[in-house]
Structure 1
């Protein structure tokens, strides 16, 4: 396995990451654990999850992916051998977005992000995540198959400076080592 430095962090991540978005929908807990064991045996050290997984997002399965990873972490005792990335669900502006997570008010303000992070840490059964990401920006963007951006002039968003301050506080507290964003535009 080859490894690369993740951005400008001190994390050396495997070129292949274990994605987990089907755990709890298409894969059982036992299958998830077997996938982790196989990935580690082949040198994979980064596991990517999200509070909204599995997909498709449904209230009945929400959080199972992190739960499965959490039981593996607890039972294996190998937390120090893996890097965990997870993501906070963003605002539910479009009809397909998960409105069942945190009551559908998923802005990246202090209340929302604190609730998201603490929920993820509880499901993951760990005290920290190595990479905490915003699953998508706190503004409308083309993602998840949607084309033709439509500007919403009255869109209620949290200023990125506020969100970054909150994320910096998470790092300062030791609950997060590094931050990032997923499903962002090149402009963003």
Structure 2
């Protein structure tokens, strides 16, 4: 599954990222991580103090990747509406949900400040970054003057996370796409 050139440490982190996304924290055992990474128990404990340490690193990497994907779309040229649309309409594995959002639903992650931190920081960053784009749009006249950047950014993040939940519940990506279309229709001023 992994390239021989990838270090054992990176294989362990990537395996943990995938397993957390698929199974959540409780469902991700050290044995499953080791098997997926093709690494032995000694290798895992050589690089990490244990499952919580490895999971914290994996969550931080997933958060970093999510922020980079969002920034790539939010920093594109165009109006604020165009940039938000680029973020909302980007290609996603809708039925798998959000790597980070899933962790917010995991009681063990939420209960552990170190594991919860990348989740909380990512959503805080995302709301702030989208609010910046919205504020730019209001100032430029691209969005309605009464649009509150913070409230609207929170709603956009909620649309994405809620859209994942609706799509997974229906086992169909269409509810996600409906939520995105609805959010964009609310932002559109023409």
Q: TM-score range by the shorter chain?
A: under 0.3
The TM-score normalised by the length of structure 2 is 0.28
Greater Rg, structure 1 or structure 2?
2
Bigger proportion of residues as strand:
1
Bigger proportion of residues as helix:
2
Compare relative contact order (CA 8 Å, sep 6+) and give the higher one, 1 or 2. 2
